[in-house]
Chain A
Amino acid sequence: MSKIHTRMGDGRRVEMTREEIKAEIEDGNNNAATKGKVPSLTDDELDHLVDIFTTPERFVSVNPEDLVVMSTDVAPDTIFMNYSEYGGVGVPTDTVTAQMIAERVCGSDCVQNAFRGGNLKGTSVSIMQVRQDIEALAMNTIAPIIYTTMPNMGAYFKPDGPFDNCGDLMAAGKIKEGQETYEAIVPSIVKDAMYISEMVTSIGADCINLDTAAAAGDAEFQAVLEATEKITKELGLPVLINMSNHFVMGMHGEVEYNGKRLAGMMPHDQAKVVEESGASVYGPVVNTNTKKSVAWNVAKAAAVMKECGKQSNLPIHPNLGMGVCGAPMAEIPPIDAVSRAAKALVEVGRVDGF
């Protein structure tokens, strides 16, 4: 029986038969249904995924009328940044030139600016430089300008911030104190997000991307939702919310938004509260399991995205990058794997962008 080249979630190349790939896809779909709590894909959709993963071409695509758009958390800055977390290539240029290269050379649908590392807390002391960059972007580029920042609740803990480390309090058995500290940080995140939004609005940014939301768990997600509500109502600045991982970790355990408990919330339910908060675009995440094949991971992600699109009226832009939504957890994700993940999420997951 002929073998097909495919990959594992860490990027390693492996060989499988068509039957083995089909079994991987069915198992990934079942995992989405049982662990992700979403309806299974149909037989036709599963067959289509098998076709995507067994076609011999290295690179796959979609019909022209099905092409999607891409918002971004940091992509054009990877041209000049050499942060390993960004996978940057370290070309000695600056943010405005990098964005112009991204727009005119790479065909990026948007341009974006993010202060180094993207922390809300760190940006608030460097906002003048950020505003100069955005002003130059506004004059020189055509695509929508996204300002990207991350709540990063951990940056509010001592010694960087004024609050005790909630995780340490919890680990010491001080549950109540830990919860109260989480709750006390929320207004600080909202205040900083509002300040940064005011600053970028005053200079002409098109929207703000609150990225890596809920990385520190449910209280951080609450802060992002409350900040979004305030930013959209008071400033009229559109907000993109992009998640950090598949489900919301219950680090606090009891915080709610509009009467809905955030701990353990899955993407299709996150989509509803994100819409209620007033956001414009929702970016869900399904973490890639490196011990499973790309086909397994993509089947799971496609089932989750399909349900997100059903539960929300907002454009759905899943985070498709190294280690999320089926893309392998590798610093240079192979194009055969990424293009298959993208095609599957468009044709089966029915996403609105990436």
Chain B
Amino acid sequence: MSVGMHGIRTAGDLVLRMQISKKMRLNEAKEYVAKKLGTDVYTLSDEYAMKEIREELGIGTINAVPGQPKGLKAKAKIAELLDIKIPCVDLMR
């Protein structure tokens, strides 16, 4: 709670994806994600900025806004954006 990025509130899910799929250390993963999102490492942990970025890119937020990508649809966008394979997205395709 005290030191976490907090998932889709910010970009925690994206950073963890890079650690799991590419074995990136924390700083490398953050820099990679920030570059792909067109922002900086500081902003990755900013809920206010990340809500706008996530909505604009269609990669899902904590708010279940009708019509906004959620679940598998959001993950398909994340796979494209981060240039990684997401297994359930591959299965869907």
Chain A residues within 8 Å of B, Cβ to Cβ: 59-62, 64-71, 103-110, 138-145, 201, 203-207, 237-238, 240, 280-281, 313-315, 335, 338-339, 342-343, 346, 351-354
Contacts and interface: CB of A to CB of B under 8 A. Distances in A.
B16 A353 contact: yes
Given A142-B8, A142-B60, A143-B13, A281 B1 contact: no
Contacts of B89: 204
Most buried by B among A106, A205, A352: A352
Contacts of A205: 87-88
A103 B8 contact: yes
Nearest to B86: A206
Nearest to B23: A280
Contacts of B24: 315
Contact of B2 (A140, A238, A315, A343): A343
Given A139-B72, A142-B59, A142-B60, A342 B7 contact: no
B88 A240 contact: no
Chain A facing B: main interface SS: loop
Most buried by B among A145, A204, A281: A204
Contacts of A140: 70-72
Contacts of A60: 2
Given A64-B45, A240-B20, A281-B19, A342 B13 contact: no
A144 B71 contact: no
Nearest to B88: A204
Contacts of A206: 17, 20-21, 86-88
B88 A142 contact: no
Contacts of B51: none
Interface string B75-93: 1001000000011111100
Given A69-B16, A144-B16, A206-B87, A352 B26 contact: yes
B8 A107 contact: yes
Contact of A145 (B2, B30, B45, B88): B88
6 contacts: A65-B42, A67-B4, A206-B88, A238-B20, A281-B20, A343-B3
A107 B2 contact: no
Nearest to B74: A142
A352 B87 contact: no
Contacts of B91: 138, 203-204
Interface string B10-32: 10110111011101111001100
B3 A342 contact: yes
Contacts of B70: 140, 142
B3 A109 contact: no
A342 B19 CA distance: 19
Given A104-B62, A104-B64, 17 more contacts: A60-B2, A65-B41, A67-B4, A69-B26, A103-B8, A107-B10, A107-B12, A109-B4, A109-B13, A240-B20, A313-B25, A335-B1, A338-B2, A342-B2, A343-B3, A352-B29, A353-B16
B31 to A, nearest CB: 11
A62 B8 contact: no
B18 to A, nearest CB: 9
A-B CB proximity, top 9 nearest: A204-B88, A107-B6, A138-B88, A339-B2, A352-B26, A109-B12, A143-B13, A69-B16, A315-B19
Given A67-B45, A281-B19, A104 B8 contact: yes
